[in-house]
Amino acid sequence: MKNSKYNIWSGIFFGVGIAGFLDEAVFHQLLHWHHFYDKATLSVGLISDGLFHAFSWFSTVAGLFMLADLRKRKIWNTKKWVGGIFLGAGAFQLYDGTIQHKLMKIHQIRYNVEIFYYDFTWNVIAIILIIVGVVLIKKSSVSDKKAGELHASS
């Protein structure tokens, strides 16, 4: 069970980092739709983007270090890890879309447009990612249980 959680957490850290990186690269840098913190000057927005970028890479690297440890100890479970990636990416996106966009109001996805459709799409994609992650993790757990029963009966 401990190895199972370690696989999942490694994937979650990696998923949070990748989702953060994609958010930063696409919406902040390429499209210029917003900054991490839009309630101040452009300079503050750019600094906040840099801090956000550092956080996302820290999470990505932490997930990869954990993955290297899993592989070294030969306990890497690909399905659990990939499930963790989807779960982490979806959780990041749902947190961003609900807490940061609506509750804290530190930025929106985009300004000067009808935001409902952007928010709706953003949060639906987040929920889909979470569901995919949970399904992969559950399927992997069922496979592990069956493999354990086969091993115990032989």
pLDDT one-digit tens code per residue, 43-92:
887 888 888 889 999 999 999 999 999 999 999 999 999 999 999 999 99
Residue 1: pLDDT band with limits 50, 70, 90? low
pTM comes to 0.87
Does residue 127 contact residue 59 with C-beta atoms inside 8 Å? no
pLDDT at 143: 67
Does residue 61 contact residue 111 with C-beta atoms inside 8 Å? no
Length in residues, the chain: 154
Coil/strand/helix, residue 38:
coil
CA distances from 29 to 21, 24, 35, 59, 133 (A): 11, 6, 9, 20, 28
Extended strands (E) in the chain? none
Residue whose token pair is 């306990």: 75
CA distance 79 to 137: 7
Extended strands (E) in 21-71? none
pLDDT tops 50 at residue 122: yes
CA distance 66 to 99: 28
Q: How remote is the C-alpha of 115 from its chain's centroid?
A: 23
Residue 113 has phi, psi (to 5 degrees) of: -140, 170
Sorted by where each begins, the domain ranges of the chain are 2-153
